């Protein structure tokens, strides 16, 4: 929207909650410029490779939103390596954190150079010497102030060496949740496999219907156990409703999943006792 483009929303598939390639293929029109696929909650979207083929066939960019999936793998390929450009987030609840901030990944030198200009007020400074004095600099774009402070970058670099450790801690916690929920009817929980390699930025479960999700959430609230709906359908957010109005589609799978999904307490180092409390609270309802 900031770039003057209009989003064209498509439905998701119900396995990994990523874009459904068939639905995307049907909705693309002659004005489409790119496909943006989000890797939800720590897993690479199932149809990512198919979306890349559609993008190639139609001359479009494939953009990966990897904010929640740093380190995730599908079919031997890590998130961020399928498309033309990818975004990572280092927010406080992500796989590694710098408090705030993120990164852009690309193999395309033209995109890389443009991102470097945009992140620093639109200033052309390819050698990054603006703050070192000397030289004459020009402003070639209407850019932003998105430079990451050096101290935060150093924190992020230090966490890179711990990324595998942090991911395995999350996967271990997911395995412990899985053990507690085996045999519980009325809910679907994520599996822990080697490939697809899920990094579990969140632990989201899917209930049989919206009423069950509501009952579980209300019961957990009564026990002072936090849970969260991640997420409301983006095409139903107030900003897009106000901006696009009647142009918004009905996305059946997206709206169904959003009504049944719930994220449970989850972080590296969560204890067995904490997992037991959450699992017991859920089982008391189902």
pLDDT at 126: 64
Element (H, E) at 36: strand 34-38
21-160 and 163-285 in the same fold:
no
Q: Which CATH class is domain 21-160?
A: alpha beta
- Work out the burial of residue 278: count CB atoms within 10 Å of its CB; fewer than 13 is exposed, 13-18 middle, 19 or more buried: buried
pLDDT at 92: 93
In 3D space, the residue among 157, 189, 167 whose CA is nearest the CA of residue 268 turns out to be 167
Of the chain, the end-to-end C-alpha distance in Å amounts to 42
pLDDT at 127: 65
Q: Do the strands 85-89 and 102-106 form a parallel or antiparallel pair, or are they unpaired?
A: antiparallel
CATH fit for domain 163-285, picks 3.90.1150.10, 3.10.20.30, 3.40.50.450, 3.40.50.150: 3.90.1150.10
> How many Å apart are CA 269 and CA 217, to the nearest integer?
23
pLDDT along the chain (286 residues), means of 10: 91 98 97 98 99 98 98 98 98 95 97 92 77 77 90 95 96 98 96 97 98 98 97 94 90 98 96 98 97
The pTM assigned to this predicted structure is 0.94
pLDDT at 134: 66
In 3D space, the residue among 68, 71, 37, 31 whose CA is nearest the CA of residue 51 turns out to be 37
> How many Å apart are CA 235 and CA 247, to the nearest integer?
10
User: Structural domain boundaries of the chain?
Assistant: 21-160, 163-285
């Amino acid at each position: 929207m900031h770039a003057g483009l209009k989003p064209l929303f498509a439905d998701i598939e119900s396995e990994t909650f990523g874009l459904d390639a068939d639905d995307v293929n049907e909705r693309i029109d002659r004005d489409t410029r790119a496909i943006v696929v989000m890797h939800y909650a720590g897993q690479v979207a199932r149809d990512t490779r198919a979306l890349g083929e559609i993008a190639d066939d139609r001359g479009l960019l494939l953009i990966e939103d990897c904010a929640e999936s740093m380190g995730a793998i599908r079919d031997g390929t890590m998130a961020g390596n399928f498309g033309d450009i990818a975004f990572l987030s280092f927010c406080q609840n992500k796989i590694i954190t710098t408090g705030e901030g993120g990164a852009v990944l690309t193999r395309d030198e033209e995109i890389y150079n443009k991102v470097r200009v945009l992140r620093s007020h639109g200033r052309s400074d390819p050698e990054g010497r603006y703050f070192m004095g000397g030289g004459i600099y020009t402003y070639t774009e209407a850019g932003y102030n998105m430079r990451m402070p050096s101290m935060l970058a150093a924190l992020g670099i230090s966490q890179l060496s711990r990324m595998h450790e942090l991911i395995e801690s999350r996967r271990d916690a997911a395995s412990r949740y899985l053990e507690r929920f085996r045999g519980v009817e009325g809910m679907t929980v994520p599996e822990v496999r080697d490939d697809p390699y899920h990094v579990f930025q969140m632990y989201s479960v899917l209930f049989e219907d919206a009423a069950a999700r509501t009952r579980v959430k209300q019961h957990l609230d009564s026990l002072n156990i936090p849970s969260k709906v991640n997420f409301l359908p983006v095409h139903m957010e107030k900003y897009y409703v106000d901006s696009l109005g009647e142009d918004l589609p009905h996305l059946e799978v997206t709206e169904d999943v959003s009504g049944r999904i719930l994220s449970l307490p989850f972080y590296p180092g969560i204890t067995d006792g904490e997992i037991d409390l959450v699992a017991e609270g859920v089982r008391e309802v189902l």
